[in-house]
Amino acid sequence: MDTRGRRKQNTRGQGDLLREEILTAGVRMLDELGDDQALSLRAIARAVSVAATSVYLYFPDRDALVLAATERCHEELVAAGDAAEGAHDHPAEQLRARILAQAEWAQTHPGLYKVLHESAVHRRLGMPFKEVMVERTRTAVQRCMDAGVAPRDDALTVTIDLRTAVNGMLAQRINEPDLPWPPITDQLDRFLTKLVGLQL
């Protein structure tokens, strides 16, 4: 039997390593495709040199893998925002840094950002982990209000308005790159000024 190109069987205890390789390959392919419906578990199996049945041991179907991949991406997005916010002391600068970090991540990973916000898996299975990003942003908005650098309002409502504007703008930039877009920082600053009330 010709076994060339086949992956050596994992030794006992290395199942988590294989799962990580499969997930990493899935994330990479989703970023390239920008469409979870175009993702094939068999293609992922080929990418990591395992039989398709090995992928199904960890992810019973495509939705399960897409859900795990989007959760991984969301964690990266939250971490990027946290790091950016932590580099500043002023509440307005913290909020602005968080939003800019989100935009930079989306520009670096347009396919993943598209899947994260447009995948039908969200409608079928839900993505409750996204609540973390909402709460981080709401906390940053509330901090601006408490410091008197933004008008008093319902912080959650303002956060939802801001996220709707930012996510919509980033999605349009990804889907319609040929439009005469203004500098992204200028557009984000207008959102922060008009929707949050920051004086930038």
> Do 51 and 113 reside in the same domain of the chain?
no
Residue 48 lies in a domain: yes
Task: Identify the CA nearest to 159 among candidates 187, 136, 129.
Answer: 136
> Do 38 and 111 reside in the same domain of the chain?
no
User: How confident is the model at residue 1, as a pLDDT?
Assistant: 40
> Do 44 and 31 reside in the same domain of the chain?
yes
With beta carbons less than 8 A apart as the criterion, state whether 116 and 35 touch.
no
| pLDDT tens, per residue, the chain with 200 residues | 444 445 555 544 566 899 999 999 999 999 999 999 999 999 999 999 999 899 999 999 999 999 999 999 999 999 999 999 999 999 999 999 999 999 999 999 999 999 998 888 877 888 888 899 999 999 999 999 999 999 999 999 999 999 999 999 999 999 999 999 999 999 999 999 999 999 98
> Do 102 and 165 reside in the same domain of the chain?
yes
> Do 100 and 172 reside in the same domain of the chain?
yes
Q: Rounded to whole angstroms, how far apart are CA atoms 86 and 98?
A: 9
Number of domains in the chain: 2
Residue 10 lies in a domain: no
CB within 8 Å of 95: residues ≥ 6 apart: 85, 137, 140, 141, 143, 144, 192, 196, 198
Q: Note down the domain range covering 27.
A: 15-61
Residue 165 lies in a domain: yes
pTM: 0.86
CATH number (domain holding residue 170): 1.10.357.10
